[in-house]
Amino acid sequence: MDLKKVVEQYPQSRDARRELGISYYQQHKQQEAMEQFEALQQIDPDDIAAHYNLAILYRRIGMKDKAKEQLAMFADKKTDPGASTYSLDFLRKHPEISTENVLWHVHTDLQQSAVSAAGEQ
Angstrom distance (rounded) from CA 35 to CA 96: 47
pLDDT in tens, 31-72: 999 999 999 999 999 899 999 999 999 999 999 999 999 999
Q: What is the DSSP string of 55-107?
A: HHHHHHTT-HHHHHHHHHHHHHHSPPTTHHHHHHHHHHH-TTTTTTTSSS---
The per-residue pLDDT for 112 is 54
Pairwise pLDDT comparison (75 vs 114), residue with the higher score: 75
What domains appear along the chain, each with residue ranges and CATH number?
3-77 (1.25.40.10), 83-120 (no CATH)
Q: How confident is the model at residue 121 (pLDDT cuts 50, 70, 90)?
A: low
Pairwise pLDDT comparison (97 vs 45), residue with the higher score: 45
> Over 60: is that where the pLDDT of 8 sits?
yes
